[in-house]
Structure 1
């Protein structure tokens, strides 16, 4: 079953923390595909070639179908996994995080590393912000030119998301609808346009909400 909503990072950015003299820089970014995530990881590594470690984690897919993590030389399970767990615990999807560590001479131990790597990802999410995207159905409303302006105004006045308007022999208005609202919207549209509007359901998409 597809997720009705997911959370992703609002923007690309970096958050830095110092823990027992080690510098931890968490670079985080939205990533629509696994390739985008890998390209971001490569870019961060290139920016920090002298770092002790560049560990990463990413989650792709609204249902988190792709999950990858790397400890990049830290003891197994102490870096990439807690980073990934922080992303999934916050329901973050379509995002990549890279934590760059510059070793400061004090060993943190396994527990300390887990807290540090997971914690800095959580702090980065808080600092950079997240947005929630909701699943909706695409639909096309078709009306004559005479009714087009009023129909668009009525749609916006009732909080409907107008995505696109195309003018031809008739006017096609593309909108986004929550799945649960489809039947009620059909009835509303028929009433608002005296039964003259066409209505066609399309595929699914996610949008900010």
Structure 2
């Protein structure tokens, strides 16, 4: 797939706004379909019990391009879509946002609900910590010690962080790390140049979505 780097929530986060005595709590949750949306909603219900509404939306690029939303009992189109619009406007992926509403006794009307749910989600998304994610491949390299400097040089020239590698000094040098899938062809070209006799051996794992190992 060679997924370009994307911005995603760095962890679970919530922020509250009060609009005409109703409390709106925007809960941002990293989301990749590995945990069903209904289970995430249940966890929010446990954290914020006895609320009037739990409305939500999500957007993902991995493992598939997808989005969804629910009005959670509010009038159609007044909650789920405004939350999703906030996610889209933020440029955030791999994110679910659940907006919890505790009714304060004053009806907001259709326009008021749309604005309130959008604002709650937008403020939570803006304030939550972010992380850059990228499609990466776990790599294991085995090489002679005399090739170490060449590998370190290539890794740095590729713009990758040295912290993304671990080094095991045994009979041969074993290096483990995570490489952006987009750089895999460049790594193979380096190996062909640096080890024409196959001195550097490589083992690849399954592609994953992970924090980017590129230098900030």
* Length-normalised TM-score, structure 2: 0.77
1:39-91 Cα deviation digits (max 9, x unpaired): 23112213333322121222344265443322122101111121122223434
Tell me the residue number matched to 1:62: 62
Contact 2:90 2:125 in 1 (8 A): no
Superposition deviation, residue 137 in structure 1: 3.7
Summarize deviations over 1:164-196 as a string: whole Å, max 9, x none.
Answer: 555676433233334443343334345556753
Distance 2:131 2:171 in 1: 38
Match of 1:198 in 2: 201
Superposed counterparts of 1:33-52, under 5 Å: 33=33, 35=35, 37-52=37-52
2:74 corresponding residue in structure 1 = 74
Structure 2: where are the runs of 5+ without partners?
none
CA distance 1:200–1:68, change in 2 (3 Å): same
1:152: how far off? 6.0
Q: Hey, what's the Cα distance between the residues in 1 that align with 2:188 and 2:155?
A: 16
The answer to whether structure 1 residue 140 and structure 2 residue 140 are counterparts is yes
Q: 1:63 to 1:32 in 2, by over 3 A?
A: closer
- Equivalent in 168, 171, 174 of residue 172 of structure 1: 174
Deviation digits for residues 106-148 of structure 1 (CA, Å, limit 9, x no counterpart)? 222212211111121111011112222122344332203x347
Structure 1 unpaired stretches of 5+: none
CA contact (8 A) 1:55 1:70 kept: yes
**CA distance 1:142–1:160, change in 2 (3 Å):** farther
CA RMSD of aligned residues (A): 3.0
Q: Deviations over 1:91-113 (max 9, x none)?
A: 43332221111222222221221
Aligned equivalents of 1:34 and 1:55: distance in 2?
20
Query: Residues 163 and 36 from structure 1, CA distance in 2 versus in 1: closer, same or farther, beyond 3 angstroms?
Result: farther
Aligned partner of residue 73 in structure 1, secondary structure:
coil
> Contact 2:32–2:63 at 8 Å: present in 1 too?
no
For residues 98-113 of structure 1, the aligned pairs below 5 Å read 98-113=98-113
**Aligned residue-pair number:** 208
Once residues 80 and 94 of structure 2 are traced to their aligned partners in structure 1, the CA distance between those partners, rounded to angstroms, is 16
Distance 2:49 2:185 in 1: 56
1:35 is paired with a residue of what secondary structure? coil
